Chains A and B, each alone.
Chain A
Amino acid sequence: MVTLALVRDTFREALTRKIFWVLFGLSTLMILFFLFLLKIDIVAGATATVSLFGRPTRGSPDVNRMVRGVYGGIATFLYTFGMFLAVFASAGLVPSVLEPGRIELLLSKPLSRAHLLLGRFLGNILLVSLNSIYLVLGVWTILGAKTGIWSPVFLIAIATTTFIFAVLLSVVVLIGVTLESAAAATMITVALMIISPILAQTNLMMRLLSSEWSRNLWRALYYTFPKVYELGKMTLDAIQSGTFAGFTPIWTSALFGILMLGAALWIFQRRDF
């Protein structure tokens, strides 16, 4: 019951922030786009005429490929811009709880500090995953109904976006409890997102870097930081080809997230307010 109250409180506070509404608004726009503007008439099996804005597109595209393309686009949106908005919107949710005058009262309640912080963490993840579920499930249902293609592999985007968001949120929480700054939390987390595709070029760098220690340093960085880019790419590959390869990016990212969250809890336990 206490957890539920903490989650609800996180929702209530998050929804006072406009960025969450922007995120939900964009998702809604996309769903409406596929609902009303994309008209697909299946003629025979794989070929069909597709009309966009009421006008038929030239040629007869392969419906299967087109649907996968759309799924890929949605996943990419969720993964990049959506993730950025979600991080940006969530960055203030921990520092705001720690404000003098607010935290004392929360700490005076009969719950542990870990419970308090994890309740916030959970609420935040739930809110962002609800957006993923809404968008992915919405588009999936609409395209499924219009084309008859019900490929469940698209739903994997819900799991991967939620997972990576949880990993990034652990950094947001750690910076929140140490620096109490939403701006710092956003900057550092976005930096992690941006360096991820660079660090992912391991094969190339192994050839370019001259010394052994610099190669080891690169590997260490690569294995330490969350693999935002690679998980995104794995999601796209899964959608396009139906295969999901390699679990190293998942567990190394999970480990990173657990360590960050653990550090955040440890520091939060010991602070004076």
Chain B
Amino acid sequence: MRVDSEYAIETQDLTKIYHARWSGGEVRAIDGVSLRVPKGTIFGLLGPNGAGKTTFVKTLLSAVRQTHGSALIFGRDASDPEARRPIGYLPENHRFPTYFTGAGMLDFYASLSGVSASRRKKLIPEHLELVGLSQWGAMRIGKYSKGMLQRLGLAQALIHSPSMLILDEPTDGVDPVGRREIRELLVRCESQGVTIFVNSHLLAEIETLCREIAILHKGKVALTGKMHDLTAGKGYRLTVTKPSDALTEELRAKATSMAARDGLIDFQFPSRELVNTAVDLLRAQQCEIESLAPTTSTLEEVFVRTVEKK
């Protein structure tokens, strides 16, 4: 077993088929998902409702058993309980038992993660402070508001200093200021080398936070890539038939990004001057121009384009 992997998460053809108990119908919640999440990055998993994001995460954590395929966490098979030790998890729609106080809840989950009693004593107040709940630690969580529960859940995910955070809709129910605080907290974790895997619908949030994303659609990976490649921002996209290698190199130097697909090449140019220069060069060599369009690519556009295409 490779325990020292360069990937925090590595799945191969991961598939989960749910069988309806009575009707015999089946749902392919995730269908052949192969995904690699490098260590130390913030990775966003996007997708419309029912795309299989939660199922994917639950499979990683062995709450759901995959139908076939494999999942590795830091190189360890995900079905091994030890593989979960370096993970801090915040589930979607969590329900913490209401008999806990905030501090008691942190104490319980930290002890399950193997944090010693003396460490817990020190870490609990620190983490309550970290998520802005210092004054509320002694209150029963039955009386917490939704946003407070979310913050507490985050503290719970962080308290055993995990190497990876898996967060399913982490800012759900949190007010805008709280959201920014959470984002800042996550960026700080990243700077300490923690890998962060986030599921979210909030595209603007993912866009400011994540370095890499994958879009899941109907259980399949529809798109993956680095954020700055996918959202090249304002500019022009020029699609042409493949020019000579020398010209391709020249244009690549001018373009912000380049992507090849079946015989055509997409160039993304940041300004009108550059795209016009490119057109001149291409036409001088008799290259066919397929299309030229201004782009204002935001993650939202990428998302909609990906999901509607299918």
Which residues in A have some Cβ–Cβ distance to B below 8 Å? 1-2, 4-6, 8-9, 12-13, 16, 96, 99-112, 270, 272-273
**Known interface pairs A99-B95, A102-B96. Does A109 touch B65 (Cβ–Cβ under 8 Å)?**
no
Query: How far in angstroms is the closest Cβ of chain B from A102?
Result: 5
User: CA A8 – CA B105 in complex, angstroms?
Assistant: 12
- Could you tell me the distance between the alpha carbons of A83 and B53 in the complex, rounded to whole angstroms? 45
- Are the C-beta atoms of A272 and B84 separated by less than 8 Å? no
- Taking a contact as CB atoms closer than 8 A, the residue among B62, B104, B109, B116 that contacts A105 in the complex is B109
Contact with A along B58-89 (1 / 0, CB 8 A): 10011111000000000000000111110101
Q: Rank and list the top 5 A-B pairs by shortest CB-CB distance, nearest first.
A: A101-B95, A110-B85, A5-B111, A108-B89, A109-B112
CA distance A271 to B180 in the complex (A): 37
Are B84 and A108 within 8 A (Cβ)?
yes
Is there an interface contact between A16 and B99, defined as CB atoms closer than 8 Å? yes
CA distance A273 to B65 in the complex (A): 9
Contact check, A101 vs B94: say whether CB atoms are below 8 A apart. yes
| Contact status of A5 and B112, CB under 8 A, knowing A13-B97, A101-B94, A101-B95 | yes
> Quick one: closest A residue to B59, CB to CB?
A272
Q: Which residues between 243 and 299 of chain B lie within 8 Å of chain A, taking CB atoms?
A: none
With A13-B97, A99-B95, A101-B94 as contacts: A107 and B114 at CB distance below 8 Å: no
What residues of chain B lie closer than 8 Å to A272, measured between beta carbons?
18, 58, 63-65
Question: How long is the Cα–Cα vector from A142 to B90 in the complex, in angstroms?
Answer: 52
Q: Is B93 an interface residue (CB 8 A)?
A: yes
Given known A-B contacts A110-B82, A110-B84, A111-B81, A103 and B63 have beta carbons under 8 A apart: yes
- 8 A-B pairs besides A12-B100, A105-B94, A110-B82 with CB distance below 8 A are A4-B111, A5-B111, A12-B99, A99-B95, A101-B95, A104-B63, A104-B94, A272-B63
Residues of chain B within 8 A of A101, CB atoms compared: 91, 93-95
How far apart are the CA atoms of A100 and B95 in the complex, in Å?
7
**B99 interface neighbour in A6, A13, A108, A109, Cβ under 8 Å:** A13
CB of B113 closer than 8 Å to a CB of A: yes
The minimal Cβ–Cβ distance linking B275 to chain A, given in whole angstroms, is: 49
How far does the alpha carbon of A107 sit from the alpha carbon of B78 in the complex, in Å?
Answer: 12
A117 → B minimal CB distance (Å): 14
Q: Which chain B residue shows the least CB distance to A269?
A: B65
